[in-house]
Amino acid sequence: MGRLKDAVNGVDFNRFRFWLQLAFFVFLVYGGFFAVELGNQLPTFSCGYNSEGRAGMCYLMSLQHQLAWPWPKLFGVAALTVVTGLGVFLLWFALLNKAWCGFACPLGTLQDWITTLRRRLGVRYSRYTQGQFRRLTTIKYLLLVLALLLPLGIGGGMLSKDMRTPFCDICPARMIIPTLTGNFSHWTIDFSTKTAMVMSALGLIVTGLFFIGAFVKKRFFCFFCPMSALHYLFSRLALLRLTKDGAKCTRCGDCYRVCDMDIREIADAVDRPQIMMDDCTLCLKCVASCPEEGALKATFAGIPIFESTERGFIKRMNKP
């Protein structure tokens, strides 16, 4: 058992993460071709517009569809469907917590690959200042509120049905993920109504910004992702967790330097064990880069599954 633990803690984490991300990417984007169907409540961007290839559907899409039902239906018996959907989403989410973002999300994986490309081209990356960070971090909550309220307005007859899935309309996954299976139909502006025109144009603008942003800023889009905000609301229910033992932390700052999301608290906070912040993608790079024995740990149902060790740190640092 001890040897297994040592092997896990000393793993070549970047390589392990690369292969796991690739496996999730292929599974979620192309799994549908192999008759994989995980339902419509996945807590990650397994885009519903990828109708043939997807192995399941992003919960945000089905939630927005459900909230756009006419109010008498939504607040009637059909409310059970919404509650059931949320329950299934929570069951999936409880398994991996925000690691759905750090390991499974196809859009996140694409951003990591764009980051790799940037690094190989020798272009330096950007970071937000703490002031920018504090201001920008609220955007995902705003987007989540809009993604829930606008469909409700449609159900109440106040808004155009062309805004039935407002976040999906502007989500770059709508353009990018179906493209990976040969469906290019979303790279268009829909001129059929003014609302459709504005929303489809916004989607394409966001997609343009996605590529540019991901090239200079690690995990650029995750910072604004409403799925990340939704995850954080329920993160206390999840089994997989990130914990920190402040007494063992020397505040060397390695964890902050490797953090794709620029979360300063991971290095600074030493007074609370539950260190996971709302922007965290639970990529566990902080654990892999920490040289202090047991200072950072990933636990599943309270059982440590990956923790920082001096030996693991040295092994990873000495890797050519």
Partner 1 sequence: MNMKQTLTAATFSLALLLPVPTLCADQLLWLTDARPARNTPVTEQDHAAGTASAADEVDLPQSESKRLWLRRGNDPLRASYVAADAVAGEVHLLDRHGDRIPLAPGVKAIPFHVTMTLDELGFYNAYLVERKVQSDTLQVEIAKFEVLKGTCCKKGIEQEQTRALSDAEIPLELVREHHPDEGLMTRITSGDEVVLSVLRHGRPAAGVPVTLTTQQGWRSIRESDAEGRVAYTMLRDYFPSWHEFKRRHRDTFLVSASLEEEVGGVYDDTPHRAIRYTTTLSGHYYPSSHDYRSYAWGLGLTLLVAAFGGTSIYLYRRRRVRPFKEVRFDGQA
Output the CA–CA distances (angstroms, integers) from residue 170 to 64, 141, 319, in the order listed. Answer: 13, 15, 41
Of 84, 138, 188, 250, the residue at the interface with partner 1 (CB under 8 A) is 188
| Residue 249 Cβ vs partner 1, minimum distance, rounded to whole Å | 33
Amino acid at 316: R
Please tell me whether residue 136 binds partner 1 under the rule CB under 8 A: no
Q: Is 289 helix (H, G, I), strand (E, B) or coil?
A: helix
Of the candidates 169, 177, 173, 175, the one whose C-alpha atom is nearest the C-alpha of residue 32 is 177
Please tell me whether residue 195 binds partner 1 under the rule CB under 8 A: yes
Contact range with partner 1 by CB under 8 A, out of 85-93, 108-116, 203-211, 240-248: 203-211
Of the candidates 109, 107, 92, the one whose C-alpha atom is nearest the C-alpha of residue 49 is 107
Phi, then psi, of 20 in degrees rounded to 5: -65, -40
How far apart are alpha carbons 73 and 24 in whole angstroms? 36
Please tell me whether residue 183 binds partner 1 under the rule CB under 8 A: no
Site string for partner 1, 208-227 (x = CB under 8 A): xx-xxx-xx-----------
Site string for partner 1, 5-34 (x = CB under 8 A): ---------------------------x--
How far apart are alpha carbons 76 and 65 in whole angstroms? 16
CA angle centred on 93, ends 69 and 236, rounded to 5°: 110
Of the candidates 27, 209, 205, the one whose C-alpha atom is nearest the C-alpha of residue 114 is 209
Site string for partner 1, 272-301 (x = CB under 8 A): ------------------------------
How far apart are alpha carbons 107 and 62 in whole angstroms? 18
C-beta closer to partner 1: residue 38 or 239: 38
Please tell me whether residue 160 binds partner 1 under the rule CB under 8 A: yes
C-beta closer to partner 1: residue 61 or 280: 61
| Residue 261 Cβ vs partner 1, minimum distance, rounded to whole Å | 19
Provide the 8-state DSSP code for 307: E
Of 189, 237, 301, 317, the residue at the interface with partner 1 (CB under 8 A) is 189
Please tell me whether residue 57 binds partner 1 under the rule CB under 8 A: yes
Please tell me whether residue 169 binds partner 1 under the rule CB under 8 A: no
How far apart are alpha carbons 111 and 85 in whole angstroms? 29
Count the site residues for partner 1 by CB under 8 A. Answer: 39
Please tell me whether residue 119 binds partner 1 under the rule CB under 8 A: no
- CA 78, distance to chain mean position in Å, is 29
* Binding footprint of partner 1 on the chain (CB under 8 A): 32, 35, 37, 40, 51-52, 54, 57, 62, 126, 157, 160-162, 175, 184-185, 187-196, 200-201, 204-205, 207-209, 211-213, 215-216
